[in-house]
Amino acid sequence: MKKILQIAAVVGLAFASGVVMAEKVRDWHDLDKVHTHVQEAIHEMERARAANHYDMAGHGAKAEELLHQTERELHEAVEAAKAAR
């Protein structure tokens, strides 16, 4: 459970950082690094859920779903930043 909270905190901070830095980002590589970290968090979440036999009262599944949503949005942000250059 502690691992899930850590992953959720990382995702939350990444999202908040993205919002704060949205106007300042001029290079899509910055967004791509965050995208990579979120992908790593997804893999960590998959391992954590498996280690706990997927029994987290639905919270693990919801966290993983949100990570996937974040990953998709970051992918779109990277593509948009590339196109804007």
Give the pLDDT confidence of 4-20 residue by residue, as tens digits: 766 766 666 666 666 55
Tell me, what's the pLDDT at 53?
Answer: 82
Does the pLDDT of residue 24 top 70, yes or no? Answer: no
Q: What is the pTM of this model?
A: 0.63
The mean pLDDT value for 33-54 works out to: 88
Q: How many domains does the chain have?
A: 1
Residue % of the chain over a pLDDT of 90: 15
Residue spans of alpha helices (H) in the chain: 2-21, 28-51, 59-84
CB atoms within 10 A of CB 40: 12
User: What CA dihedral angle connects 12, 70, 8 and 56, to 10 degrees?
Assistant: 150
5 Cβ contact partners less than 8 Å away, ≥ 6 residues apart: none
Q: Which domain holds residue 53?
A: 2-84
- Gap between the Cα atoms of 31 and 40, Å rounded: 14
- Gap between the Cα atoms of 65 and 54, Å rounded: 13
